[in-house]
Amino acid sequence: MNVGIPVVSLKHLIVASMAIFLFFPAHANNHLDRFEDPLLGLTQGLEGCMQTATARNQSKYSCIGYSSDSCIARPENQNTAGMEICNLDEMRAWDSLLNTYYQILSENGSFPGLRDIQRAWISYRDLKCDLFDALYEGGSLARVLRADCMRQETARRVLDMYPLVVGNDAR
């Protein structure tokens, strides 16, 4: 006899749980509009840092650590996962700029061999940063150091490309 009580299957519970999980991210940026991309803001901040450094005739390399340094300094990030995430978040912003700059230089057509150079650089970066896995046998320190290496190497590549994208005044 059916008395109008719906039968909830395990499948329905899993789907509902996943919907709730996706709707409420674990580490949401409360200061952001829910439609704003946090990577976009960080990317814009990095570009602003490079422009300011150029205008002040300072080293653009001081922009490395733009967000990760203060992120790691927070007490809640004083652990392996926190430090790794701080480094990877900044690395993703540098990587976004790298892809943008690569597109600009590729469309220009005045840099023959750019694709081969970029592929060689990616191989170099990955091999260099993978070294930490071997040195620390994949331990927790390896994760932090590898993420830091990826951030620094990606940032350096962007900073090397920056003058080519914005012109001679950025050298």
Buried b or exposed e, range 7-32, using 16+ CB within 10 angstroms: eeeeeeeeeeeeeeeeeeeeeeeeee
What is the structure's pLDDT at 37?
61
pLDDT of res. 23? 36
Which residues, 6 or more positions from 5, have their beta carbon under 8 angstroms from its beta carbon? none
Which are the contacts of 87, defined by CB distance < 8 A and separation ≥ 6? 68, 72, 144, 147, 148, 150, 151
Give the residues of the chain that fall short of pLDDT 70: 1-38, 168-171
pLDDT at 167: 80
What are the CA-CA distances from residue 90 to residues 72, 147, 164 (Å)? Answer: 11, 10, 22
Q: Is the dihedral of CA 60, 84, 133, 123 positive or negative?
A: negative
- For residue 170, what pLDDT is reported? 52
pLDDT at 139: 87
